[in-house]
Amino acid sequence: MSQTIQAIRGMNDILPDEALQLEQFDDLVRDWLRAYAYRPIRLPVVEPTPLFARAIGTATDIVEKEMYSFIDSLNGEQLTLRPEGTAGCVRAVLQHNLLYDGPKRLYYQGPMFRHERPQKGRYRQFHQVGVEALGFAGPDIDAEHILMCQRLWDDLGLTDIRLEINSLGQVEERSRHRADLVAYLEEHAEMLDADARRRLHSNPLRILDTKNPALQEIVEAAPKLIGYLGEESLAHFAGVQALLKDAGIPYRINPRLVRGLDYYNLTVFEWVTDRLGSQGTVCAGGRYDGLIAQLGGKPQPACGFAIGIERLLALWREQGGVAAGIAPDVYVVHQGEQAQRFAFRVAEGLRDAGFSVQLHCGGGSFKAQMKRADASGAMLAAIIGADEAAANEVSLKPLRDGFGKEQEQQRVAFDQLAEAIGELLFHGEDEHGGL
Ligand code: ATP
Ligand code: MG
């Protein structure tokens, strides 16, 4: 016997219960982004590999070791499954000259791919909601992004999630800091781990981000970037903070919050929770004023953030989020050829009237069909036998406590069916039209 084929490690099926929760989340996300007047953009899952090398940087974890890259066997092109969305979004904005008439607020969502060691909260295919604001320079839009996040957490009823912010200043400020940082780390070279030693010259800022407990003390005492910021950078940072204070959003300045690349600047932020173990960063964002030029566009400021959907949904579940509205309103059972044809008309008619209807398919005795009706979670069974079909009527049987189960089965004419069902489901509230 041949073995069944399994999904790729770290690339998970999302089964109906979770997929329903995801749909509910998608609805919420759409309304949330509309409330801030962000517009959707949909981007390919595969991009030319050089895009990521240029946009993310060759000295990053992502480009060094996490990308699913391959050669298109038909034309020899170097391709990569997108590990994040910003690069593709900026590429599309440049390719279609979207900034010609002013700045743009955009969002996208979908799967991202990184070849990491799978564990709780870390997968090889995962999902992000990404938000990008292109062509905006001021601290106002940075603050808007943070306020947006806070609103989404509030909409989801999330409480244990805290904001950390920092400023990376500008390139010149960072290079003075970098020189002092490298000198400091070289002094302690014998205490660094292999990873840190490797990064000492390629990407020393990332050492500050290390998760190795043995390095915490050294890193804690390292020169802090914020001490190197000039007046303008400090004013931008102060501007963001003033707007956060106005909005009543608490935050902590974390001097070790960094991004290792030159085109990241000024504001960086992360939303972190302690409820998810070591994969606690739910959302990360900040400014990347240098990226558009890095990808060949006319220099324009920009900033954005990405939410890790698996982590956010795990937190939502942890805090009581549940998928609602899974069961149909009506389950239609029927027997005989005439009854089946009538059942199709009834089911379509009820859908026209706005009800969710599961039509029994596959035959079987009334008893077996009623078992299915009960298991579906439907509020009502609409029963159609040869009798009903001949009379253009349907027998309605309430299936749930509190929704008329105590009531008798009743026979209702086809043209009064929607009204009768509305009566039973909403106790007379007029929500659905007649058939
Ligand atoms: P980490 O330090 O956890 O590896 P990162 O800095 O690589 O995170 P970003 O590139 O900033 O993450 O991505 C934004 C968000 O996407 C993260 O904060 C996280 O919520 C989510 N995320 C990133 N990688 C994964 C993954 N492999 N599986 C699930 N979620 C992820
Ligand atoms: Mg990572």
Identify the CA nearest to 422 among candidates 403, 406, 402, 407.
403
Q: Alpha helices, DSSP H only, in 132-187?
A: 139-156, 171-187
Question: Measured in angstroms, how far is the CA atom of residue 308 from the centroid of ligand 1?
Answer: 6
Question: Measured in angstroms, how far is the CA atom of residue 31 from the centroid of ligand 1?
Answer: 24
pLDDT at site 408:
80
- Residues facing 127 on adjacent strands: 111
Q: Is the CB of 12 under 6 A from ligand 1?
A: no
Question: Measured in angstroms, how far is the CA atom of residue 48 from the centroid of ligand 2?
Answer: 21
Pocket test for ligand 1, best of 311, 313, 315 (most atoms within 8 A of CB): 311
pLDDT at site 428:
47
Q: Is the CB of 435 under 6 A from ligand 1?
A: no
How many other C-beta atoms are found inside a 10 Å radius of the C-beta of residue 334?
A: 28
pLDDT at site 406:
65
Residue nearest to atom 6 of ligand 1 (CA): 284
Identify the CA nearest to 166 among candidates 82, 50, 266.
266
Question: Measured in angstroms, how far is the CA atom of residue 157 from the centroid of ligand 1?
Answer: 22
Residue nearest to atom 12 of ligand 1 (CA): 284
Is residue 39 pLDDT above 80, yes or no?
A: yes
Q: What is the pLDDT of residues 404-426, one digit of tens each?
A: 566 788 999 999 999 999 998 88
Is residue 303 pLDDT above 80, yes or no?
A: yes
Is residue 58 pLDDT above 50, yes or no?
A: yes
Question: Measured in angstroms, how far is the CA atom of residue 379 from the centroid of ligand 2?
Answer: 46
Amino acid found at 161 = I
DSSP string, 3-68: PPPPPPTT-----HHHHHHHHHHHHHHHHHHHHTT-EE----SEEEHHHHHHHH-TTSHIIIII--
From residue 156, alpha-carbon distances to 21, 24, 29 in Å are 12, 11, 10
Question: How far apart, in whole angstroms, are the C-alpha atoms of residue 301 and residue 139?
Answer: 11
Q: What is the pLDDT of residues 176-233, one digit of tens each?
A: 999 999 999 999 988 999 989 988 988 888 898 888 999 999 999 999 999 999 999 9
Q: What is the pLDDT of residues 135-169, one digit of tens each?
A: 999 999 999 999 999 999 998 999 999 999 999 99
Q: pLDDT band for position 64 (50/70/90)? A: confident
Q: Is the CB of 284 under 6 A from ligand 1?
A: yes
